[in-house]
């Protein structure tokens, strides 16, 4: 999948708390890892997001440690997977999804 507008990333790198994507149309996006984790498209995270917030939720010890990405392998020619420091790696970030998040950071999408 190219993103719906036909763009593809030409380079991607971690810069501290951000993933920086250079897109083929010349735009550069800086996506925070927190934003990416919050937008994880896996079924488990989606379900979690759709639930009403639990006011009595007790955080697990691993949730107290700041999350960090440990790897971001390619999935075929259409997506990336983020492997997080807590072991979560189920989300497949398609180029379309990354593009949409990029556009959100540049204010093209609200």
Partner 1 sequence: MPPPQGPPRIELPGVGHVLAVASGKGGVGKSTVAANLALALAGQGAKVGLMDADIYGPSVPIMMGVPCPIDQNVTPLPLEKFGLKLMSIGFVVPPEKAVIWRGPMVDRALRQFLDGLQWAPLDYLVLDLPPGTGDAQLTLSQHTRLTGAIIVTTPQDVSLVDARKGVEMFHEVRVPVLGIVENMSYFVGDDGKRYEIFRHGGGKKLATAVGVPFLGDLPIDPRVAECGDQGEPIVHRYPDSPVAQAYFKLASTVVTELAKRPNEQELPDVVM
CB of 54 to partner 1, least distance (A): 29
Whichever of 15 and 50 has its CB closer to partner 1, that residue is 15
Distances in whole angstroms, Cα of residue 61 to Cα of each of 24, 69, 86, 107: 41, 18, 11, 35
CB of 61 to partner 1, least distance (A): 19
CB of 58 to partner 1, least distance (A): 27
Chain-centroid distance, C-alpha 54: 24
Cα–Cα distance measured from residue 27 to residue 10, given in angstroms and rounded to the nearest whole number: 10
Reading the block at residue 16, the tokens are 């501290």
Whichever of 45 and 92 has its CB closer to partner 1, that residue is 92
Positions in the binding site for partner 1 (CB under 8 A): 1-2, 8-14, 19, 69-78, 80-81, 83, 87, 89, 94-95
């Amino acid at each position: 999948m190219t993103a719906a507008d036909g763009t593809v990333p030409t380079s991607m790198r971690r810069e501290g708390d951000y993933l920086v994507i250079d897109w083929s149309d010349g735009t550069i996006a800086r996506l925070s890892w927190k934003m990416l984790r919050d937008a994880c498209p896996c079924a488990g995270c989606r379900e979690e997001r759709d639930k009403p917030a639990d006011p009595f939720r007790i955080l697990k010890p691993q949730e107290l440690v700041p999350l960090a990405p440990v790897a971001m392998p390619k999935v075929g020619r259409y997506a990336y997977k983020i492997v997080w420091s807590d072991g979560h790696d189920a989300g497949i970030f398609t180029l379309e999804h990354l593009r949409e998040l990029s556009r959100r950071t540049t204010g093209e999408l609200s």
